Structure 1
Amino acid sequence: MWENILDQILEPANRGKVIGITCGLLFGIAAAVFGIGKAIFITLSVLVGYFIGKRVDEQGSFHALLDKLVNRDKYR
């Protein structure tokens, strides 16, 4: 029963809604617990971590990403 409910909630058509609701809920809880300033800082830190992780996944390794960032002249 739970598997059917989870499959329906997490199907591609609903995935963005579920992620949005979850992020909103977590931000609301963080704002209530830590205050709005700290909640914004936590949210920005998570977003930066997400984008770094996404780039690492695309590049294949963290070293490749660092090499691309440090040696920018080679890639222009």
Structure 2
Amino acid sequence: MNKDKLMIFLINHQGKIIGTLLGFFIGILLLTLGFIKTIILSICIVIGYHIGKKVDNKEDIVEFIERLINIQGKK
């Protein structure tokens, strides 16, 4: 029974899980030990999570990135 619940959880949150793992592993590849680099790793994980969340919600990632760039450009 627990295996079924785990599979349902993994299927429902696959984008967030994959995005978080990708952010984590990319961050690990780019970083070594240290406080500042650990902060950068955390940012990579958060970005990966949010991209994965967009995939789970079937939102357009390109539109999200364009919106993000436009917000940054207006400052």
Q: Normalising to structure 2: TM-score of the pair?
A: 0.43
Give the greater-gyration-radius structure (CA): 1
Q: Which has the higher helix share?
A: 1
